Amino acid sequence: MRLTRFLTILALGSVFALAFAGCTKSNNKDSASPSSSSAPPASEQSSASPSADEAAAKLEKLGLDSNFKFKETRKITVEIYDRGNTGGSKPEDNVYTKYIKDGMLRDHNVEVTFVPVPRWTEGEVLNNLLAAGQAPDISVTYSYPTIQTYANMGGITDLAPFVDEYKDLLPNLWGYLTDSNINWDRDPSTGKLWALEARLNVLNRINTFVREDWLKKLDLQAPTSLQEFESMLKAFKDNASTLLGKDADKIIPFSTSFDVGWRTDHLTTSFVPDNITDKDIYVNGFDDRKLLYPNYKEGIRTLNKWYNEGLVWKDFPLYPAGDKTEDNLIKTGFVGAFIHNWDYPYRDGEDGITANLHKLVGPDANYIAVEPFPNDAGVYRKFLSAPVDRKLFFPSTNKEPLASMFYLDWISKLENRVYLQFGEEGKTHEKMPDGSFKTIAATDEYIMNSPANIDYTITSNGIDTGNPDLTAKSLANGYAGVDARLIEIANKITTNGGRVGQNAKAGEIKSEEGQGEALSKKRDAFLDQAVVASVDKFDAAYDAGMKDYLNSGGQAIIDERKAAWEKLYGSETMLK
């Protein structure tokens, strides 16, 4: 049956290719007159279509049967993030990995082994694995410069020949990611394709959260401006005894982390002029924390002012990625406001922030998303990601590219994605009368180590049922023990006024090679130093840090990106 479908696809593909070639010629200014047909004779068209024997021969050459299953077992390794979740399962060995392993063996005769990589140090660990020639056959990262660095050293496989040659064997991958995500990173001059971009189903990114019960207790309205937000923080501090009683000295009006760029995004980007051009966004956008956007410094200056007024958690720079100290302070009820991932306080069921607040403080202790930071045009602008996510690549040590491609195809199939996102009915979800999914907090082997198992659905980030209405309903149902009202508010605010990222298609920027992790560390360090500096020393701390950042490679990237843009678009400043 699959062989028949394969033949049909190949035949149709040939017909469409010929038709497209004909259309291209007829639209050419130098084409022949209408009387001279650009299409080949019928006999040539017939011979161009693959025969059953030719298709069977292709499968035979690839070692496949008619169901795209290898005749001899192949083995691949796949990277999986280890988030170190308390109460979670081993990320490389659990119910969900068994589902994938069993499915790949059944459908393609491919044996899968998962290789755990610590989530919070994944860049460093992956660098070490690549340098040692030990990276998993299918590797995952958020850092494209890491991939580009090793590609230039011959350490990454060019995926272009495989996605093109095997397209007819990968209907789920092509159907789900589409040409846009598959070819997002294809170099326009060389045609090289070092990575595929996973699909970001939901552009939800960041939200600003405030303790709703504290607002009510102090008879405050949700803040809608920077001044109102600052006044609210001061009210929290001034009324600590009312809010926390004997624990008044532990109050933290506003919390952030060492990663100031991510964790104060709504504040800092509200200082960016609304008329920023696509050119500026591309030239300065290699730092995903928006560090180089115009006027960003003033957002950090505001945070510095708050810190010196005792409104910001004084110990925020001390704890590295993955540390749970801040989360525990939030769960205990000491934190009034923070900025984080769009649904952060609603995650993790019984182990999450909301559940712990309800247990330790009371059922009304909730965080609610607010919009307090309009920009110079009065818009609550959100700089949203392009619809791309993690980058999927094969190191050059991958000896099974087709088996690896089948893995990406299998993980992109709707029924497999839905199972991995929602788990087992009766264990992790229940089916609602309208067909949507409602999450049940799992307490056993069905616990998911990441939201909606995104660490396993590596071609997909965000819930997707295949039906937009059911997806929206399932999203609202997806947080056990959390009032759906809070999810709906957060979901609406996080993309309100959004500006979605675009693909400038400028190709490789050589000066970015090897710089991603190093520049990110410099950025985090100097922003932390600038925030905790005394007010009179803020400019010196910030400017010195920025100078070092630019001299360490940042300026070279800016210059090369500017030249690449102008080569492609001339004096244009906006993408069409």
486 in a domain, yes or no? no
Residue 49: predicted pLDDT? 53
3-state secondary structure at position 92: coil
234 in a domain, yes or no? yes
113-158 pLDDT, tens per residue? 999 999 988 988 999 999 999 999 999 999 888 899 899 999 999 9
Q: Are residues 227 and 140 in the same domain?
A: no
270-328 pLDDT, tens per residue? 999 999 999 999 999 999 999 999 999 999 999 999 999 999 999 999 999 989 999 99
3-state secondary structure at position 50: coil
Q: Are residues 346 and 437 in the same domain?
A: no
Residue 396: phi and psi, rounded to 5, are -65, -15
Helix (H) or strand (E) run with residue 76 in it: strand 74-82
What mean pLDDT comes out for the span 344-352? 90
Q: How confident is the model at residue 34 (pLDDT cuts 50, 70, 90)?
A: very low
Number of domains in the chain: 3
Q: Which residue has the higher pLDDT, 39 or 563?
A: 563
483 in a domain, yes or no? no
* Bridge partners, residue 121, by sequence: none
Residue 269: predicted pLDDT? 97
480 in a domain, yes or no? no
| The pLDDT of residue 39 is above 70 | no
489 in a domain, yes or no? no
Give the residue from 449, 466, 483 where a domain finishes.
466
| The pLDDT of residue 6 is above 50 | no
What mean pLDDT comes out for the span 187-212? 94
3-state secondary structure 414-463: HHHHHHHHHCCECCCEEECCCCCEEECCCCCCCCCCCHHHCCCCCCEECC
Q: Are residues 197 and 214 in the same domain?
A: no
* Bridge partners, residue 252, by sequence: 335
Q: Are residues 397 and 331 in the same domain?
A: no
3-state secondary structure at position 117: strand
| The pLDDT of residue 47 is above 70 | no
Q: Are residues 98 and 175 in the same domain?
A: yes
Q: Are residues 362 and 431 in the same domain?
A: no
Among the listed residues 80, 106, 107, the one whose alpha carbon sits nearest the alpha carbon of residue 169: 107
Q: Are residues 177 and 224 in the same domain?
A: no
Residue 7: predicted pLDDT? 39
| The pLDDT of residue 27 is above 80 | no
| The pLDDT of residue 108 is above 50 | yes
Neighbours of 142 (CB within 10 A): 13
Residue 40: predicted pLDDT? 34
Residue 103: predicted pLDDT? 98
What mean pLDDT comes out for the span 215-230? 98
Q: Are residues 406 and 514 in the same domain?
A: no
Q: How confident is the model at residue 14 (pLDDT cuts 50, 70, 90)?
A: very low
Give the residue from 12, 30, 56 where a domain finishes.
56
| The pLDDT of residue 44 is above 70 | no
Residue 190: predicted pLDDT? 92
517 in a domain, yes or no? yes
Q: How confident is the model at residue 86 (pLDDT cuts 50, 70, 90)?
A: confident
167 in a domain, yes or no? yes
What mean pLDDT comes out for the span 340-354? 93
Q: What is the mean pLDDT of the chain?
A: 90
Q: Are residues 119 and 161 in the same domain?
A: yes
Q: Are residues 280 and 418 in the same domain?
A: no
> In the chain, pLDDT over 70 holds for what percent of residues?
91
Residue 17: predicted pLDDT? 34
DSSP characters for 215-278?
HHHTT-PPP-SHHHHHHHHHHHHHTHHHHHGGGGGG-EEEE--S-HHHHTHHHHHTTS-TT--H
Give me the CATH number covering residue 236: 3.40.190.10
| The pLDDT of residue 428 is above 80 | yes
Give the residue from 466, 485, 516 where a domain finishes.
466
Q: Are residues 192 and 246 in the same domain?
A: no
481 in a domain, yes or no? no
CB 536 within 8 A of CB 486: no
Residue 41: predicted pLDDT? 35
Q: Are residues 519 and 378 in the same domain?
A: yes
501-556 pLDDT, tens per residue? 999 999 889 999 888 889 999 999 999 999 999 999 999 999 999 999 999 999 99
Q: Structural domain of residue 13, as residue ranges?
A: 2-56
What mean pLDDT comes out for the span 27-33? 30
